[in-house]
Amino acid sequence: MALSVGIVGLPNVGKSTVFNALTAGKAEAANYPFCTIDPNVGIVPVPDARLKRIEAHIKTQKVIPAIVEIVDIAGLVKGASQGEGLGNKFLANIRETNAILMMVRCFDDPNVIHVAGSVDPMRDIDIIELELALSDVETAEKRLKKAQGLAKTGGKEAKAEAAMVERVYAHLSDGKAARTLQMSDDERKMIATWGLMTAKPVLYCCNVGEGDLPKGNTWSDAVRARAAKEGAGVVVLCGKVEAELAELSENDRGELLASYGLTEPALASLARECYRLLGLQSYFTAGEKEIRAWTIRKGAMGPEAAGVIHTDFEKGFIRAQVYSLADLDAHGSEAGIKAAGKLRMEGKEYVVQDGDIMHFLFNV
């Protein structure tokens, strides 16, 4: 289960530099708008210290972390909703992702042209949000006409959808993002199928200069304040530094990280934030062949979690053997956990917890 996050921003804000660092790519982004014409897709491991803790007790051949799919999308310009620049293609690419990583330029560099002529993250965010909202208004308007027609002849469901479309359309028409509308979980599920870009969760990524690490600057502080009002997440990083770190082996990164007051590459926290943004969590399987983190949505029950490994596991689910990492640390092995009576048997109604270590019993 790898859900995708689209890196969105104006041209020359550092999207491709960060994308290449995230995916350990070596290509350098060219210093002009639209250097990424087709979206690049990269698979990014989600750093998780728990994997090493499991490996300390269970010897294995390989360790496989959870992943997030990152899509580097061509730079947006003002008027994209009307087809300016690569507008239509850009918007179509965003619709296909599950969440938006909004890259905001918070550094000044005379050698890197800003498409609007000056650095102003609030203006840049407003341009992006407006273009996405304008496109969503158009989408909602088409859906409204169709829903109102069906409501005249349809039953309760058709009428409920028409009422919901009216609410969303009015909200968007006020220039507000669909994600800020008060909705029930069922209503959110309903609109998730409409292709609205402003309904997607957002993580702000502030790209600052080297001298502004690790805390950022007044520009990134303004983005933080905005994100706090929206309930969105923020990651502050320097694309140039992350690109340097990506070139080094894990053992060689310590000195460079320390020189900037960092304890880990910012891309590690960015990957974790993307994971959290998508409402995901991990459970683990552990054995001699591999220790692996499996991605599930929060609230998933045993059969759904088993189905991530193989659909047969979900169909034939009988029960799951479950223990915690704390139990493994305390007793040192699965045999020790079993002897201490800490190995649990859980059925179909069990809600899997983040960090559970599981074995599934199934019948095909």
Write the burial class of residue 256 (CB in 10 Å: 0-12 exposed, 13-18 middle, 19+ buried).
Answer: middle
- Structure confidence at residue 110 as a pLDDT band (50, 70, 90): confident
Report the SS3 class of residue 271. helix
**Residues 273 and 307 occupy one common structural domain:** no
**Residues 316 and 271 occupy one common structural domain:** no
More confident position, 271 or 80: 271
Number of domains within the chain: 2
Does 75 have pLDDT greater than 80? Answer: no
Residue 330: predicted pLDDT: 97
More confident position, 82 or 223: 223
**Residues 185 and 323 occupy one common structural domain:** no
d(CA 194, CA 209): 38
**Residues 353 and 244 occupy one common structural domain:** no
CA diameter of the chain: 69
- Looking at 228, 243, 277, the residue that finishes a domain is 277
Q: Is position 283 within any domain?
A: no
Note the residue count of the chain.
364
Q: Of 87-91, 168-172, 265-269, give the range with the top mean pLDDT.
A: 168-172
CATH classification at residue 323:
3.10.20.30
| Tokens describing residue 115 | 């498409």
- Structure confidence at residue 56 as a pLDDT band (50, 70, 90): very high
**Residues 121 and 27 occupy one common structural domain:** yes
**Residues 257 and 336 occupy one common structural domain:** no
Q: Is position 147 within any domain?
A: yes
**Residues 267 and 358 occupy one common structural domain:** no
| Tokens describing residue 104 | 């905001």
Q: Is position 284 within any domain?
A: no
Q: Is position 292 within any domain?
A: no
Does 84 have pLDDT greater than 70? Answer: no
**Residues 152 and 190 occupy one common structural domain:** yes
CATH classification at residue 131:
3.40.50.300
| Tokens describing residue 142 | 């088409």
One-letter amino acid of 328: L
Tell me the average pLDDT of the chain: 88
Q: Is position 183 within any domain?
A: yes
140 touches 194 (CB < 8 A): yes
Q: What is the pTM of this model?
A: 0.83
Does 11 have pLDDT greater than 70? Answer: yes
Q: Is position 289 within any domain?
A: no
Residue 218: predicted pLDDT: 97
Tens of pLDDT, residue by residue over 270-313, are: 888 888 888 899 999 999 999 999 999 999 999 999 999 999 99
Residue 25: predicted pLDDT: 46
**Residues 262 and 341 occupy one common structural domain:** no
Of 353, 360, 355, which is closest to residue 299 (Cα–Cα)?
Answer: 353
133 touches 172 (CB < 8 A): yes
**Residues 354 and 224 occupy one common structural domain:** no
Q: Is position 31 within any domain?
A: yes
Q: Is position 287 within any domain?
A: no
| Tokens describing residue 346 | 């859980």
**Residues 224 and 312 occupy one common structural domain:** no
One-letter amino acid of 19: F
- Looking at 218, 246, 277, the residue that finishes a domain is 277
Tens of pLDDT, residue by residue over 122-166, are: 999 998 888 888 889 989 999 999 999 999 888 888 888 999 999
Tens of pLDDT, residue by residue over 183-216, are: 998 898 889 889 899 999 999 999 999 999 999 9
- Structure confidence at residue 30 as a pLDDT band (50, 70, 90): very low
- Looking at 229, 244, 277, the residue that finishes a domain is 277
Residue 278: predicted pLDDT: 87
- Structure confidence at residue 348 as a pLDDT band (50, 70, 90): very high
**Residues 151 and 195 occupy one common structural domain:** yes
- Enclosing domain of residue 327: 299-362
Of 283, 254, 275, which is closest to residue 4 (Cα–Cα)?
Answer: 275
